Amino acid sequence: MPRYLLHRIAQAAFTLFCVLTFAFVLGRATGKPAGLLLPDNATAAEVDALNGALGFNEPLHVQFGAFLANVLAGDFGQSYRQREPALDLVIERLPATFELAFWSFLLGLVLALAAALAIQLTGSRTLRSLFIWGGSLRQSVPDFFFALLAVLVFSVALGLLPSLGRMSPASLVLPVLTIATGQFVLYVRLMDAALSDQASQDYVRTAFAKGQSRARVLVSHMLPNALLPVLTMAGLNLGSLLGGTVVVEAVFAWPGLGQVLTDAVSQRDFPIVQAGLLVVALIFVTVNLAVDLLSAKVDPRVSLA
């Protein structure tokens, strides 16, 4: 276990270091920022002086060292446009993104759980095909297009739900529905496979032999055993879910991380891009690590692998 733990932590740290290096290289590839920061009529000497003051005239390895030190201190520099610390601008958008990601994750899991239980309770192959095919067809269109169809039906045609912004709880419905249905098929397949695996175990046969009902065996015996691998995979998928919300946010003008990032890209506001990249990478890596270690803790077989 300690060895596995160390290995995983080292790997997570290395991943973050790679992202940092990448962000640094990209940041320097944009060129020196003084031209963007100063008014158009600034002289070349002024531009050079500001670049020097910002440390852009130093040798690269010195700049990289300074960059790492700054990042560790939580300083990503000022946004070129808004003249505020970039990290603050990113962090103030996090709650909106978390809200979206959390409800989508929950709804996706709950829908999948209901579907998997229904499949197992009825033992119906038709039901299984229906859910898996339906989910696969949903996955055949990207989130942003499904979102548009949802807007077309629920906002344009029926006028039931808002299509933009984050005004009321109702504005959560369409984005959450979009992301959750996109995740649905992955979870259904995992849960169904896990439950089907458990079905042939001895303890299940014993439970049936004691005369327990199918529902009871399913919920109190099989489900706890089947849930762990599913939660692990779902946890690992949380990262790509966060990536997916970036695009969905763009469709619904949801004021989250995705919006601040896409705005920053179009305005060439690189400190924000760097800060956003690292914040997301940090979340991503932490979640992956936590899920890995948690499942090793809960199920001792994992650490043997």
Partner 1 sequence: MTQQLLPAGTQVPATAPTDPDIQGTPATPTPAKRKGRGTSPAFVIGSAMLGLVLLLAAVVPLLPGFDPFGQDLSAAMRAPFTDPDHLLGTDSLGRDLLSRLSLASAVTLGIAFAVVILNAVIGTTLGMAAGYFGGRLDSAVTTLADVNLAMPVVLLLIAVAAVTGPSATVTIVTLGLTYWVGYARVSRNLARSLRHRDFVLAPLTQGGGHGWVIRRHILPNVFSQTLIIGATDIATIVLIESSLEYLGLGVQPPVPSWGSMIFEGQKYLGSNPWLAILPGLAMFLTVAGAQFVSQRFTAEGTTGALLRKGRTA
Using CB under 8 A as the binding rule, the residues of this chain from 178 to 207 that contact partner 1 are 182, 186, 189, 192-193, 195-196, 199-200, 204
Site size toward partner 1 (CB under 8 A) is: 76
Asked if 119 and 259 count as a contact pair (C-beta separation under 8 A), the reply is no
Distance in Å, CB of 113 to partner 1, minimum: 15
Nearer to partner 1, 41 or 125 (CB): 125
Distance in Å, CB of 59 to partner 1, minimum: 21
Residue with tokens 């763009």: 250
- Interface of this chain with partner 1, residues 223 to 242, rule: CB under 8 A: 233, 236-237, 239-240, 242
Distance in Å, CB of 15 to partner 1, minimum: 5
User: DSSP string of the chain?
Assistant: -HHHHHHHHHHHHHHHHHHHHHHHHHHHHT--THHHHS-TT--HHHHHHHHHHTTTTS-HHHHHHHHHHHHHTT---B-TTT-SBHHHHHHTTHHHHHHHHHHHHHHHHHHHHHHHHHHHHHT-HHHHHHHHHHHHHHHTS-HHHHHHHHIIIIIIIS--S--SSSSSTHHHHHHHHHHHHHHHHHHHHHHHHHHHHHHTSHHHHHHHHTT--HHHIIIIIIHHHHHHHHHHHHHHHHHHHHHHHHHHHHHHT--SHHHHHHHHHHTT-HHHHHHHHHHHHHHHHHHHHHHHHHHHHH-THHHH-
Tell me the window of 75-83, 93-101, 107-115, 129-137 that interacts with partner 1 (CB under 8 A): 129-137
In the shown chain, the binding pattern of residues 11 to 40 toward partner 1, with x for contact by CB under 8 A and - for none, equals xx-xx--xx--xx--x--xx----------
Pick from 60, 141, 253, 298 the residue near partner 1 by CB under 8 A. Answer: 141
Distance in Å, CB of 114 to partner 1, minimum: 16
Pick from 90, 246, 260, 291 the residue near partner 1 by CB under 8 A. Answer: 246
Nearer to partner 1, 172 or 186 (CB): 186
Pick from 6, 114, 149, 164 the residue near partner 1 by CB under 8 A. Answer: 149
Pick from 3, 83, 125, 210 the residue near partner 1 by CB under 8 A. Answer: 125
Nearer to partner 1, 46 or 129 (CB): 129
Pick from 51, 120, 171, 181 the residue near partner 1 by CB under 8 A. Answer: 120
Taking CB under 8 A as the rule, does residue 119 contact partner 1?
Answer: yes
CA torsion through residues 178, 179, 180, 182, sign:
positive
- Interface of this chain with partner 1, residues 36 to 95, rule: CB under 8 A: none
